[in-house]
Chain A
Amino acid sequence: MTNEASQQSSVPVRTRQMSDFLNPLVREIKPSGIRRFFDLVSTRKDVITLGVGEPDFVTPRHVREAAIMSLDRGKTQYTSNAGMPELREAICNYLYNSFQLQYDAANEVIVTIGGSEAIDLALRAIISPGDEVLVPEPSYIPYAPITTLSGGTAVGIETFAKDKFKLTEESLRKAITPRSKVLILSYPSNPTGGIMTYEDWLPIAKIVEEHDLIVISDEIYAELTYGMKHVSFSSLPGMKDRTILVSGFSKAFAMTGWRLGYVCGHPDIIAAMLKIHQYTVMCAPTMAQYAALEALTYGLEEKDRMVESYNQRRRLVVQGLHDAGLECHEPQGAFYAFPSIKSTGLTSEQFAQRLLEEANVAAVPGDVFGLGGEGFLRCSYATSVANLTEAIDRIGQFVYKLKQQ
């Protein structure tokens, strides 16, 4: 290297702030409001938490053993991109037996890293810049930010306690514009516990048809319904080809940490999603796939026991919230109650923060879940009966104190 050249290279051409390197879309999306609340809760001791969005069961032992066995046998390689054929086969059988859905294991299913990856794949595969994505809210938080990252625009549709947080025909119609392309459905709902029956679905399906929409139906809580069976949007007349069905093992089989989900849909859509999947993650973890296969083959009874236990605790928490003086619609799915705290005159944020500080109970303020969430509180009942009764006692005393003031 000549003297001149070395001098030149030591002079910085230009200094960018680190944030200047960031994609503007990433800068635009906000960190999850749950994260903020988590940080607040983490500073305290002896908190009883109703804030947990995952089962309180450990994955059934035989499922864990199947994964260990697969490791002992040396099954530590990649699987096919779409997932092990026998697992895809088992998923299709399960969907047929449980929800009367017919998917072809060969080209209509991908095993993904949780339902989360499936949502990401679906949105990236179908959104072009400017497309509008309709999201009934309050809802699971990631739909809107991932839509933004994919170049689309999320359009929230407010749902209401008086409708048990169901998506209604009128509110869907009002939200549709010529740019509407995708409708995200997430029932049974996190955070509201709302569900949709066959009759509730029919007018929605009609509008989807009329406006030529594609649906991403996140049915991760499908197994957790109480008193009635879940109706998959994909099972409605004419809706199979228009539906990208997202589900997984986390909630039904208590397998959150395994990160295993799946997505089913029309072969053309699945092929497009598979391209992204193979370039980004190659395949879902092999040992987790063996565990999932075991869960579907031998774990359904255990799953039923867990559902019965959630149902018992659901009744306890709903009754308890009523007794505590909070209005609460009856949640019929998932493991959340979503009581209104409007009668206390506080905002969700104020209520949740004071409940934490004055009663040492954590629950997630409803406003973090988008439109219609303000004035509500998400209470997960996936916790022990002892915790639930204690938490409800404390909430009751806290609400009483508020109303005295």
Chain B
Amino acid sequence: MTGISDFQLKVLALLQEDARLKPEIIATMLDATVEDVKAAIAAMEKDHVIVKYATIVNWSKMHDEKVTALIEVQITPERGRGFDRIAESIYLYPEVKSLYLMSGAYDLQVEIEGDSLKEVASFVSNKLSTIDAVLSTKTYFILKKYKQDGIIFEETESDSRMMVSP
């Protein structure tokens, strides 16, 4: 991948704030042409700098009883391949929301989401623990999400300024 330009960084900063911002608006804000903005976005999509335009959902608002858990997993790395192939066999499960290789007391952190406690438990015992390289797992259920990806979930008064001022 070639280095990211200053211009691309500015485009990214705006998209990170609002992925639905139109290229025309970004172009005006950055004093650039729409073509330049579109090209920059296309290049970053191609390079997987921009991975996906997803929606951050506060599921608790939907009276949805989804259960999320963080699982600490200790594994034995494979000769010659390290953690990557085992990681892949874990992240290919659609239940897995995120997967990180960690430094410290354990190796992988798995975030999984299920419709019920039972479903999560069964994923751990039937799918995760049965992988040969997995030595141990510790499962922590998430009770409440306050903030995700830099976005605060609680609704707070966002603008406390007076409506009109000198």
Interface residues of chain A, those whose CB is within 8 Å of chain B, are 32, 34, 37-38, 41-42, 47, 49, 51-54, 56, 140-142, 190, 312-313, 315-316, 319-320, 362, 364, 383, 385-386, 389
Contact = CB atoms under 8 A, between A and B. Distances in A.
A34 B18 CA distance: 33
B163 interface: yes
Interface in B107-166: 159, 161-166
B101 interface: no
Contacts of B14: 312, 385
Given A312-B30, A315-B31, A38 B162 contact: yes
Given A385-B18, A385-B21, A316 B165 contact: no
B163 A38 contact: yes
B28 A140 contact: no
Contacts, number: 59
- If over half of B's interface residues share one DSSP class (helix, strand or loop), that class is named, otherwise mixed; here it is loop
Contacts of A320: 28
Interface string B3-41: 000000000001001100100010011110000000000
Given A38-B165, A312-B14, A320-B28, 7 more contacts: A34-B166, A38-B163, A41-B163, A54-B165, A312-B29, A313-B29, A315-B28
Contact of B28 (A49, A51, A319, A364): A319
A47 B28 contact: no
A141 B165 CA distance: 11
Contacts of B17: 385
B13 to A, nearest CB: 9
A176 B14 CA distance: 49
B30 A386 contact: no
Contacts of A316: 25, 28-29
Interface size class of B (residues with CB under 8 A): 10 to 19
A312 B30 CA distance: 6
Contact of B162 (A52, A190, A319, A386): A52
Contact of A385 (B25, B30, B161, B164): B25
Interface of B: 14, 17-18, 21, 25, 28-31, 159, 161-166
A320 B159 CA distance: 23
Nearest to B32: A315
Nearest to A40: B164
B134 to A, nearest CB: 41
Nearest to A42: B163
A244 B157 CA distance: 39
B66 to A, nearest CB: 28
Nearest to A313: B29
A52 B162 CA distance: 7
Contacts of B159: 56, 383
A37 B21 contact: no
A389 B14 CA distance: 14
A320 to B, nearest CB: 8
A32 B166 CA distance: 9
Contacts of A41: 163-164
Contact of B166 (A42, A53, A313): A53
Contacts of B165: 34, 38, 51-54
Contacts of A51: 163-165
16 contacts: A34-B166, A37-B164, A38-B162, A38-B164, A38-B165, A41-B164, A42-B163, A51-B164, A51-B165, A52-B162, A53-B166, A140-B166, A315-B28, A316-B25, A362-B164, A385-B17
B163 A47 contact: yes
Contacts of A386: 18
Nearest to A382: B161
B15 to A, nearest CB: 12
Contacts of B29: 312-313, 315-316, 385
A38 B161 CA distance: 12
A54 B165 CA distance: 7
Contacts of B25: 316, 385, 389
A52 B163 contact: yes
A228 B91 CA distance: 51
Contacts of B166: 32, 34, 53, 140-142, 190
A171 B31 CA distance: 34
Contacts of A389: 25
A53 B161 CA distance: 9
